[in-house]
Every structure is written in structure tokens, then in C-alpha cells.
Amino acid sequence: MIGILLGTRPEIIKMSPIIRECERRDLDYFILHTGQHYSYEMDRVFFEELELPDPDYNLDVGSGTHAGQTAKIMAGVEDVLIKESPGIVLVQGDTNTVMAGALAASKLHIRVGHVEAGLRSFNRRMPEEINRVVTDHISDYLFAPTENARMNLLAEGIDDKKICVTGNTVVDAVYQSLEIAKKRADTLKDLDLEPRNYFLVTAHRQENVDNRARLRGILEGLIEVQKEFPLPVVFPVHPRTEKRIKELGIEVNGLNLTKPFGFLEFLQLESQAKLVLTDSGGVQEETCILGVPCATMRYDTERPETLDVGSNILVGTDAETILEGVRSAAARKQSWKNPYGDGIAGKMIVMVCTAARTQ
């Protein structure tokens, strides 16, 4: 049996190809949703949109301190793992769910597979970096998305026999989800947007939106971008970001602030944008896959492959550097090669997991 653990919406998206492959092969598996960001009731729409089966278990741990949330997840996961006794547990990415799930499984002597292993920002001040490193070092199977990720793991002394370069499941997810989106939405028409004639923005990272100086720089930079380029700037605002913007009291006239979109709607917007400005790791990957230039409002990234191929540029959070970066990124030719694989990562991961059952 395969246990699939997830707790955030990006994890649902990136685990979706693995779930679909388990379904296709009629394998014995279960899904455990920790509710790290939202309850399952709030995430249900994601499962419905992506045409995925409902989770078998929901912990609904909710928000809290890193230590408190991690402890709740570990306790809940442990109870389920003792009951189900899977042969392998799969976790994806760098959240508290990932580290807590991997720790719970490892202490029960259940094999752990880390999907998207080996990513490094080399910034230990990021909680996500701690989660990645710990999970990688206690995992039995490390599914690295790229050769660069594999080299990071080898540099930390991890046995090469544990590592499998699979490509990134986000490629599978993007291709599969775009097909679903075509049947369900026409977001550009709804917003009266023309393909390649608007900018798309996301900003949600704690180190950006909870830092008044950084958030002010981001907002002022976006305003300058809107002034220089005669194009709509569409900014789906996360609730926490919206609250912080109001606290700053900055007038954001000219920016098209909208409610957050569902993944399929957002994917349509992302795929047709002239350029995307973001602080999200997943969006850096998605834009690279979709052939859309990206300007990342951070000072480091655990997705260096996007920088190497030229799909992405780091612009920080200063208004002037954001504007300069957008000028540069918007002028780039969209001719890079996708470094994240050819859309069969989910199949490869499930194949390794099923082979592991016989060992």
C-alpha cells in the first residue's frame, strides 16, 4: 500500500499526477489531508476541479506556530500510519506536512519517498529550507526533479542509490490540468483580457508580505510597472496580503486587485500572460513550463534551473529593481527549453514505489 500525504494546495496539485497514476493502475493507496493551510472543506474544490478522489483521512490541524503545527501533524499522521501500515509514504515539497509526515513514518520504520527532493535555496532562515533538508536526510527514496537537485543531494552525502531523477510532477500537473481547464473555464474572457497583453502578479510569502519595507517596495514597484507599460496588472490578492496592504495605507490605484482564483482559472491566466511577477516557487516552475517570462520578487530561489535557462529573473523587493527586472524579462524571447522533464514524472515515481514493494 502507498500512503500519499498532502496538506496544502500546491501539494494537491503536484501530487495529482501520482494519484491519477495510482487510480489508472488500480493500486492500493490512501490519501491523507492534514489541513495545514485550509480544512478539507475549503480544499474540496481543488479535488473537485482536478477530478481527484476525496481524501481517505482529514486531520484539519489548522494554523499555528511551526512547532505546534508540526506536532499536531506528526501525531495525526502516526495514528493513520499505525492503522493502515503502508509499505511506503510519499510526501512532496517543503511544508510542515512534509517534514512531520516523513518523521512520523521514519520513526515507525515505514519507507519514505520525497517527491521534489534536493531543492535548495541555501537560506536556512527560510522554514521551508529546514523542512527540505530534514526530509531529504530521512527519506529512503529521493525523487529529484532535475540533475541539479541530484547534485545538491550528493553534496550533502546522500547515497546516490537512493536518488532517482524523475523530472517534476508539476509538468504532468500543468499539462493534465490545462486539458481540464479548457472544459471548465474561460477566465480571460470573463476578465476582458487579451492573450499576452497583461501582467499577472502573486505575492504571499511571509518574509515579503509580513515585512512592511518589502511589501511597500513590491507595491510601489508594481505601480511603476503599470505606469510604464500600458497593460493591465492583474493581482489576485491572498487574504493575508490584502490585510497587510490595508495596514500600510498605500493607494494601489491602477492595479487590478481581484479575489484569489481557483487553480484552473489561475493556470489559464498564467499560460496567456505577457509576464508573471511572483514570490512563489511553484509559479516559477509553471511559467517556465508554459513559456511565460517570470520576474521573481525574492533574493534567492530554490529553482535555479529557471534562472539557468533564462525563463526567470530575480528582482528582489525594491521598487526600482522590480521595474528594471520587468523591462529585462518582458523583452526576452520565449525560446528556452523546459528543464523539468517531459510529463511522465508521476508514472516514474509510482513505478519505483511498486517495485519497492517486492524488495
- Taking the C-alpha atoms of residue 143 and residue 156, their distance in angstroms, rounded to an integer, is 16
Q: Are 266 and 188 in contact (CB under 8 A)?
A: no
33 is catalytic: no
Question: In degrees rounded to 5, what are phi and psi of residue 92?
Answer: -135, 125
Query: Which three-class secondary structure string do you get for 196-216?
Result: CCCEEECCCCHHHHCCHHHHH
Residue written as cell 508554459? Answer: 290
The one catalytic residue in 37, 66, 114, 204 is: 204
277-280 long-range contacts, CB within 8 A, separation 24+ = 277/199, 277/200, 277/201, 277/202, 277/203, 277/222, 277/225, 277/315, 277/322, 277/326, 278/201, 278/202, 278/203, 279/202, 279/203, 279/204, 279/205, 279/208, 280/202, 280/204, 280/205
Sequence-distant (≥ 6) Cβ neighbours of residue 245 within 8 angstroms: 215, 219, 237, 252
Asked if 139 and 114 touch (Cβ cutoff 8 Å), the reply is yes
Task: Fill in the amino acid letter for 189.
Answer: K
Say which residue the cell 502516526 belongs to: 78
Query: Phi first, then psi: what are they for 199, rounded to 5°?
Result: -100, 150
CA distance 252 to 227: 12
Catalytic residues: 204
